[in-house]
Structure 1
Amino acid sequence: MKYKIFVDGQHGTTGLKIHEMLEGREEIELLSIKEEEKKDLNKRKELLNNADLVFLCLPDAASIESVSLITNDNVKVIDASTAFRTNPAWTYGIPEITPTQREKIKNSKRVCVPGCHASGLIIAMKPLIVNGILANSHKLICHSITGFSGGGKAMIDDYENGKFEDIGGQRPYGLALNHKHLPEMKYVLELEEAPLFTPSVGNFKQGMLVMSYLVKKEFKKAVSKKEILDLYKDYYKDETFVKIIEDNDSYLDAGLLNPMKCNNTNSLEISVYENATDMVVISRLDNLGKGASGAAVQCMNIMLGLEESKGLNSRKN
């Protein structure tokens, strides 16, 4: 049996990557739309309703429009925008975060792919909240640096064709402190208030680090770094794509952490660093992999009853 898959928004960064990942898979038939037809409402509606599963790789308003065009109740949808991530009628697309999430995704016809920054924070912080180390009232503080590919075609062109002295090495953004991933961070972690979060874009194409800063005296119970690592290992013990790094010497390169080491994989790696009073938990992932297209394909595999890791790479440490 071949599953008909349509990527609405196939000419954008995420859509192109999904197409690349699905091409050549014998159980999949990719439905395509020409660049000049992508604004043809009738053509899009036809493809949306003839597919078994649709990926929406569109701005929020366009995603909402596409969903409204689907009248075939059998069509499954995976949305990569922020439009539905806090909508309880949609299933959040991180199968690893709770023991029941994978089954929810499998049985859902509407799944939203998490934001890349949100994935890094949620996968790192969920076990600490579930196990009573951090309270739901805790004010999380987080910073991330990501490759410029997450900024779309215009930003990619700026970095690939601009001058380094004009662009710089690392640029913080979202400085009004209202980044679009904050609502889902608060919603999925069930926090009383959104984290204090600042992202930045680096002068590299893909890869990212998401860094969460914790003060030990604010923990609900005293725990050592080893206990935190053991907790992570137990929480994610059966997960192919979440890896816990214990040996900092091999994880670091001359004391430096390379954000690109998970590139072209669907892996997310968690590492922990501390001094006497504070702790930093860092998630490393590919912003185009587990942070976007890889996560979408992982959810597709689950929703179609296929092997979850099919077509996805896992980093070998």
Structure 2
Amino acid sequence: MSAPLVFIDGDQGTTGLQIHERLRGRTDLQLLTLPEGERKDPARRAEAINSCDIAILCLPDGPAREAAASIVNPAVRVIDASSAHRTDAEWVYGFPEMSTEQSARIASARRVTNPGCYPTGAIALLRPLVQAGLIPADHPIAIHAVSGYSGGGRARVDQHEGAAAVQAPAFQVYGLKLAHKHTPEIEKHALLTERPFFLPAYGAFRQGIVLTIPLLLRQLPGGATADQLQACLHDHYAGARHVEVVATEDVQATEHLDPQALNGTNQLRLSVFANPQHGQVLLSAVFDNLGKGASGAAVQNLDLMLG
């Protein structure tokens, strides 16, 4: 029996290149990519996608929808790394640790939508706490995140690393119209009933994310404590290979969060910081936006689908 054929459509973008690198040298699958002269040929792309076992779409939203629509072979399975299908009920959300049954759903799915980088951290922090009733589904949630500039794709990378790199700002907050495309994804999969406030930023480093969510304990139901929040996250991710919840004593010894701390890995590190005197809590997630936030997650989902 031949090894499964995996087609990476859009393998020259930041996510596609990293997926290709992570799969290089594996003998349990075959990689199919198109020569440069054929990458924009619709007929050749349709032929490739319909001849593979699993296609990984590393494309902008519009081309990703077109690629998915071009599939006529019912045996082809898809992982879409774009945001085109992340709130589509017909696609399985590709965050294996989201719930106890999610890995099995991904493993048997025909269509998997890879989570966004920022939503990975926000959903990982919020969903278990909302499910447990420690945070109300309609609670006013504010999320701030800083990503490496690779989160902006090839254009942003060129801005920092190309000939015009000197013009790139060291730090920039964006999404100021409060309409970032990741917000509906966070709202849906974190089980929120009110749209969260989401403010992203880019720093002058290539990759990595720090995402934070502030909470006031007096606004939470039932006298919730920081210890309860930490215990809930710890219990939810117990045994999860790629998600770690930092122990309270280690959190207390932490003086800063480095967005690049987990670069090159598929790990997601969650922490609950607290100031009991002021009744304030800060939830945080640290991970690689090109790892657990993109290519690492895609390869993790691919492995589940390959069994």
The normalised TM-score by structure 1 is 0.92
1:283 counterpart residue number: 285
Q: Write the mapping of 1:116-127 to structure 2, written as runs, cut at 5 A.
A: 116-127=117-128
Percent of aligned pairs sharing the same letter: 38
1:309 maps to what in 2? none
CA displacement, residues 80-134 of structure 1 (integer Å, 9 cap, x when unaligned): 1111001000000101011111111111110000110000000011110010001
Give the deviation of 1:163 after TM superposition. Answer: 7.3
Residue identity matched to 1:150:
G
Give the residue type in structure 2 aligned to 1:149.
S
AA aligned opposite 2:287: L
Establish whether residue 260 from structure 1 lines up as the match of residue 288 from structure 2: no
Match of 2:305 in 1: 303
Matches within 5 A, 1:137-286: 137-161=138-162, 166-246=167-247, 247-248=250-251, 252=254, 255-275=255-275, 276-286=278-288
Distance in 2 separating the partners of 1:101 and 1:203: 35
Aligned-pair distance for 1:189?
1.8
Does residue 1:89 correspond to 2:85, yes or no? no
Partner in structure 2 of residue 310 of structure 1: none
Instruction: Determine if contact 1:7/1:57 at 8 Å carries over to the other structure.
Output: yes
User: Shift of the alpha carbon at 1:57?
Assistant: 0.6
Report the Cα offset of residue 230 of structure 1: 1.7
8 A contact 2:159–2:165 mirrored in 1: no
Find the aligned partners of 1:113 and 1:38 in 2 and give their Cα distance.
22
Task: State the distance in 1 between where 2:219 and 2:304 align.
Answer: 38
Alpha-carbon distance in 2 for matches of 1:99, 1:69: 33
Work out whether residues 11 and 35 of structure 1, in 8 Å CA contact, stay in contact via their aligned partners in 2.
no
Unmatched tracts of structure 2, length 5 or more: none
Aligned to 1:200, the other structure's residue is in SS state strand
RMSD over aligned Cα atoms: 1.4
Name the amino acid aligned to 2:26.
Answer: R
State the AA in 2 paired with 1:90. Answer: W
Deviation at 1:165, TM superposition (A): 7.0
Contact 1:3 1:28 in 2 (8 A): yes
Query: SS where residue 280 of structure 1 aligns?
Result: strand
Cα shift at 1:221: 2.1
Provide the C-alpha distance between the structure 2 equivalents of 1:40 and 1:164, rounded to a whole number of angstroms. Answer: 32
CA distance in 2, matches of 1:219, 1:46: 54
1:28 counterpart letter in structure 2: L
Deviation at 1:233, TM superposition (A): 1.2
Contact in 1 for aligned 2:213/2:282 (Cα 8 Å): yes
How far did 1:169 drift? 2.3
Shift of 1:256: 2.1
The residue type paired with residue 246 of structure 2 is: I
Provide the rounded CA distance (Å) in 1 between the counterparts of 2:150 and 2:165: 16
Deviation at 1:224, TM superposition (A): 2.4
Which residue in the other structure is 2:296 paired with? 294
Query: In the alignment, what sits opposite 1:9?
Result: 10
State the shift of 1:34 in Å.
Answer: 1.2
CA distance in structure 2 between the partners assigned to 1:274 and 1:259 by the alignment? 20
Q: Shift of residue 193 of structure 1? A: 1.9
Q: Partners of 1:31 and 1:261 in 2: how far apart?
A: 32
- Please identify, of 24-33 and 151-160, the stretch whose mean Cα deviation from structure 2 is larger: 151-160
CA distance in 2: counterparts of 1:104 and 1:259, whole angstroms: 31
Question: Mind listing any 5+ residue stretches in structure 1 that lack a counterpart?
Answer: 306-317
Report the AA paired with residue 169 of structure 1.
A
**Is contact 1:142–1:195 with CA below 8 Å preserved after alignment?**
yes
Displacement over 3 Å in runs of 4+ = 161-166
TM-score, scaled to structure 2: 0.95
Partner of 2:98: helix, strand, or coil? coil
